[in-house]
Amino acid sequence: RCVEESMKKIMEEFGGDQAATNTVSSNSERRGMIVVDGSNLLRGSSVAGMQAVLKTMISKHYGAKLFFDANILHCLADNNDNDGKAYVERILKTKKYGAVLVPAGSRADDFILQYADRKEAHVLSNDRYLQYVERYPWIKEGRIHHFLYDDGRISIPELEIDVKVSG
C-alpha cells in the first residue's frame, strides 16, 4: 500500500493529467489517451521518428502522456546522441506531452502501466509487459500497441499511423 501511495503522489507531482490533455486542442474531440513509453520509442527510432509519431497522434486527436526511464539522459549521452538528449531535456522541462522522467531506481514500466490502468488508456511501446498480465489483465486485451520503424517509416497499424520520418 505504501508503494501505491508513493506512486500516486509521484504521479500527481509529475503534472498529472493536465499537461497530457493540453496537447489536444480544446475544440476537438479526443479519440483517447495514449501512454507512450518515450525511452522505448526514442531508442527504437530517432528524435525525428518520435516527433513524427507524436505530431501524428495529436493530429488524429489522441491525447499523449510520455514517460521516460530515469537513465534516458545518461544513455543518450553515452551514445553521443546529443540531439536526442537535447530533445528529451526540452520536453521534460516544458512538460510537453505531459512528459515525465521516472525517479531514479524506478522502472518506467510500473508508472506507464499504472497510469494507463487508472485512465483506461492505451500504451505505445514495443515491450510486451508479460510479467504484468496478472496485475493488469487488460494487457492481453489489445491496449498495448507496437510500432515498426523500417525503411524510413514508423507504422502503428492499430492507431492508423504510418508516417515517413525525415532526416
Which grid cell is 155? 507504422
Give the Cα separation of 55 and 150 in Å (integer): 19
pLDDT computed for residue 166 by the predictor: 83
Q: Is 27 exposed, middle or buried (0-12, 13-18, 19+ CB in 10 A)?
A: exposed
Checking if the pLDDT of 16 tops 70, the result is no
* This prediction's pTM: 0.82
- 51-108 per-position pLDDT tens digit: 999 999 999 999 999 999 999 999 998 888 899 999 999 999 999 999 999 999 988 9
Q: How far is CA 67 from the centre of its chain?
A: 5
